[in-house]
Amino acid sequence: MAPATANGRLPEAVFPHRPELLTHDPWPGDGQRHWTPRQIYRAMHGWAFPYVKSRVLPGDFHPIVAYLFTEYKCNLDCHYCYSFDNRVKGMSEELARGSIDWLHDSTCRVLALMGGEVLLRPKFVHKLVDYAANKGFWIYVPTNGRLLQPHVIDWLADAGVSTFNLAVDAVDEKPGLPKAFNPIRPYFDYLVKKQYRYGYTVFLNINICRNNLDDVKQLTEIAHANAISTDYHINEMPLLEQSHFKHLENNPTYIRQEDQAAVDEVLDWLIDKQQSGYGMTNSVERLAQMKQFMRGELEPWNCRAGQNTVIIRVDGTLAPCFPMYSATYDWGAVGSPKFETAQLRQMKQSCERHCFSTLNHIVGYCYNDRRVIHWLLKQARHGFQGIRGNFE
């Protein structure tokens, strides 16, 4: 383990922990998922144990998943995205370290890095992942892939990333959708190839927009051909006013009423594919709900933001969830959270019907002992070799 630094910054990352994996020669087990007991323990440590603790400990704020916004800058400009502002400085090393230490003292053991584009400072992220993995966190790295060069993959995989979420919306770039697959194809191939020896998983994260419906299908087939899963969002306008957001008018990505039938067709196609065995993180029920959401007919759901999920902004202040990044309400800061159940409950009466936050829906759906036990039994039947199915 790297020694602590006296100045409160992140320690230098150790690299490589496993030099033998750096070879480009074939490696035993390449192409086949085999999780070691250590990897299975890390997944249980990340998800199951914090869930149980959150059920038995007194109080309401017991985070299971924390989103750490290390950046708010981005190297792209997706026209639906209000989650970046290139004037905002990235998180300091001291704050990143302090955040991980604080989360480590809580129930939380799942750390999702967030941006902006997380890999704008790859050495910083390498140190951060190495530090958090040493403390036992299950780590999720989302990226648009443009900076995911092979040596960065090796750094982060060797340090202990559990999942790479590769966000792409189109096969080739198109108006308003620069997050495309072909520009990052060589990095994708390397990422997929190396996943088995390091033990991380990869999935494609796809936002369903008005102008990418064919791409959604093509990307789904690409993921399936490479034996990785997909995760879908349905494009939405910002919940809160975002003064820095420039694309509210004439946005080619927003779904209009006249596009709904075409989107329904894609959702039905995805449901068929999932039922025929394609790996997807969204349940069939959840995909079907996207039709309701698009029509403004979403029913209230069991949102657990501010109780079991939390975001840490680049300046160390807290909020319950990603859609509330720009909210001005004071929910406290790292080390001094101020979440109150009554305030959250009242707020959710208005935002829950307009919010399709995928992670919070999953946490809300899964925050149920019967579903957790059922899901764990399903994994046990498969010897905990990778994630089988979703929580449906």
Question: Binding residues for ligand SF4, per CB under 6 A?
Answer: 74, 76-78, 81, 83-84, 115-117, 144, 167, 179, 239, 303, 305, 320-321, 323-324, 348, 351-352, 355, 357, 360
- To ligand SF4, the closest distance from the beta carbon of 18 in angstroms equals 30
- Comparison of 239 and 266: residue with beta carbon closer to ligand SF4: 239
The residue (of 126 and 361) whose beta carbon lies closer to ligand SF4 is 361
In the complex, minimum distance from the CB of residue 280 to ligand SF4, in angstroms, rounded to a whole number: 20
Nearer to ligand SF4, 97 or 361 (CB): 361
Please report how close the Cβ of residue 159 comes to ligand SF4 at its closest, in angstroms.
22
Task: Provide, rounded to whole angstroms, the least separation between the CB of residue 303 and ligand SF4.
Answer: 3
CA distance 358 to 53: 23
- Please, what is the minimum distance in Å from the beta carbon of residue 166 to ligand SF4? 11
Closest distance to ligand SF4 from the beta carbon of 69 (Å) = 11
Nearer to ligand SF4, 181 or 198 (CB): 181
Residue placing its CB nearer to ligand SF4 in the complex, 170 or 280: 170
For ligand SF4, give the closer residue by CB, 50 or 323.
323
- Cα dihedral 101→106→109→112 (10° resolution): -70
Nearer to ligand SF4, 13 or 355 (CB): 355
Smallest distance, ligand SF4 to C-beta of residue 88, A: 12
| Rounded Cα–Cα distance for residues 233 and 185 (Å) | 22
Distance CA 48, CA 235 (A): 31
